[in-house]
């Protein structure tokens, strides 16, 4: 700086003028199309072989003549009227289909990669809602095979817990001459047992007992007939199984006919969770899948069970299907009609190892899915893939990449609501050089 200051002013000014004149001449030669002498072209080629090579091949795009990060797919001029410089395929510096990104931009974007893994299963979780219902296989309806009248209720409240064999009600059997409807002659069958007892005919005794059992006469009444030797018109109805009284149509003084339900008992030691599953998730479910339910009545607690049945129909209005999940309920805390949220684990199994990548590695524009395969040294290859099952934060790859290859993860930030896959890939390549696929996007002239 001091040396320049010591030179005469006309020398410094002259140097500036020469530089400006040289720039003007170069610009005029460039814009006017005047060819340099052959010797001059050779000298330029010797100093910058890439410039000479760029004169041939397919034009990929046009770059800003002042070196600004601005490109255009078509010829244009900058604000000073200078033509954008064409970039040819032979000078792109990339392999076909490879996007090259400068190390500075890779660091700025925080690009991370992950290997394509090989797995034999994917754990997928399906979310659904449902309600608690009694296990239908553990329901019992208490009826009789004769007509009668309820004389006395021994269990008079709905919701009461009962044990197997516990007396529920005492009923009066109507005889044929007093019945309003034709019914089984239970009294006559009791008399048959009394006669067999008097004759001490063991074969007829056993036969008479079996007939009374078929009419629904409980063992306690049969034993009473054998003890007293007399028929009775009063029968005690007992609980066929342990459980909870869900329904109690019986009331004292009520007349009932053969087959009328008097009590409905449910064994609630296990219950059903009827879950409503979205149509698109039904295909992933299998009988035996594990399920975890949470209920608003018991915050912070989970109840585990298994998928027991997948119903073959859909609800047309909601496009949902029902799935039956069996939940143990030993303490009886799960009650009928309780609301629950359920998560079903549906592992996607494969007979042979499957290639998987993290979900964040997939770029999806709706019509195709692409991953960016990392080749090292800032080189990335956009590659179309076919995807399969999802689960555990991973996506199965049916074709396009193989285990061991590195793919970019977290690249979905390149896409926003108004961009497409090609624009996202070009945004990733901005600041570096790109191959013909995809071409850089730039402002229209």
At residue 423 the predicted structure's pLDDT band, cuts being 50, 70 and 90, is low
Quote the CA–CA distance of 249 and 263 in Å, as a whole number.
6
Across the range 418-423, mean pLDDT stands at 47
pLDDT score of 4 more than 50: no
pLDDT score of 63 more than 90: no
Tokens representing 412 are 């979905």
Find which of 40-49, 134-143, 403-412 is predicted with most confidence, using mean pLDDT. 134-143
pLDDT at 322: 96
Give residues with Cβ within 8 angstroms of 160, minimum separation 6: 244, 245
At residue 160 the predicted structure's pLDDT band, cuts being 50, 70 and 90, is very high
Across the range 234-256, mean pLDDT stands at 95
pLDDT at 235: 92
Strand arrangement, sheet containing 243-247:
139-142, 263-266, 243-247, 161-162
Quote the CA–CA distance of 328 and 326 in Å, as a whole number.
7
Q: Which residue has the higher pLDDT, 89 or 32?
A: 89
If you write DSSP's letter for every residue of 378-431 in order, what string do you get? TEEEEEEEEEEEEETTEEEEEES--TT-EEEESGGGG--TT--HHHHHHHHHTT
At residue 279 the predicted structure's pLDDT band, cuts being 50, 70 and 90, is very high
Average per-residue pLDDT for the chain: 78
How far is CA 76 from its chain centroid? 50
Question: pLDDT tens-digit profile of 345-355?
Answer: 987 666 678 89
pTM for this structure? 0.59
Cβ distance 286 to 346 under 8 Å? yes
pLDDT at 176: 59
Alpha helices in 183-306 (DSSP H): 186-199, 202-214, 219-228, 279-282
Across the range 30-40, mean pLDDT stands at 38
């Amino acid at each position: 700086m001091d040396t320049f200051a010591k030179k005469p002013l006309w020398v410094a000014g002259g140097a500036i003028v020469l530089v400006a004149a040289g720039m003007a001449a170069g610009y005029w030669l460039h814009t006017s199309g005047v060819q340099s002498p052959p010797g001059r072209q050779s000298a330029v080629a010797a100093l910058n072989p890439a410039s000479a090579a760029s004169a041939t091949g397919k034009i990929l795009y046009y770059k800003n003549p002042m070196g600004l990060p601005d490109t255009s797919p078509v010829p244009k001029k900058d604000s000073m009227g200078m033509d954008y410089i064409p970039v040819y395929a032979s000078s792109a510096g990339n392999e076909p289909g490879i996007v090259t990104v400068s190390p500075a931009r890779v660091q700025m974007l925080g690009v991370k990669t992950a290997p394509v893994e090989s797995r034999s299963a994917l754990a997928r979780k399906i979310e659904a809602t449902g309600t608690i219902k009694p296990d239908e296989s553990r329901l019992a309806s208490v009826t009789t095979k004769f007509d009668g009248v309820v004389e006395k209720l021994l269990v008079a409240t709905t919701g009461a817990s009962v044990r197997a064999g516990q007396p529920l009600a005492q009923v009066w059997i109507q005889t044929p001459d007093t019945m309003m409807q034709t019914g089984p002659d239970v009294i006559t069958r009791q008399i048959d047992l009394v006669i067999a007892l008097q004759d001490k005919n063991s074969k007829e005794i056993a036969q008479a007992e079996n007939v009374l059992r078929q009419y629904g006469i409980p063992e306690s009444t049969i034993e009473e007939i054998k003890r007293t030797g007399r028929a009775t018109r009063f029968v005690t109805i007992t609980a066929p199984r342990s459980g909870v009284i869900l329904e109690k149509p019986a009331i004292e003084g009520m007349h009932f006919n053969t087959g009328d339900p008097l009590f409905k008992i449910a064994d609630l030691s296990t219950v059903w969770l009827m879950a409503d599953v979205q149509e698109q998730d039904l295909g992933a479910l299998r009988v035996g899948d594990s399920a975890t339910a949470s209920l608003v009545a018991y915050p912070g607690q989970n109840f585990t069970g298994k998928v027991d049945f997948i119903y073959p129909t859909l609800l047309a209005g909601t496009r949902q299907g029902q799935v039956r999940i069996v939940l143990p309920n030993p303490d009886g805390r799960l009650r009928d009609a309780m609301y629950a949220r359920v998560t079903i684990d549906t592992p996607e199994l494969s007979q042979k190892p499957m290639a998987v990548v993290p979900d964040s590695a997939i770029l999806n524009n709706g019509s195709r899915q692409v991953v960016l395969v990392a080749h090292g040294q800032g080189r990335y290859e956009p590659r179309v893939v076919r995807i399969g099952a999802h689960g555990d934060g991973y996506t199965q790859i049916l074709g396009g990449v193989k285990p061991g290859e590195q793919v970019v993860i977290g690249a979905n930030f390149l896409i926003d609501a108004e961009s497409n896959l090609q624009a996202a890939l070009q945004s990733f390549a901005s600041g570096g050089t790109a191959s013909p696929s995809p071409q850089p996007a730039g402002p229209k002239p």
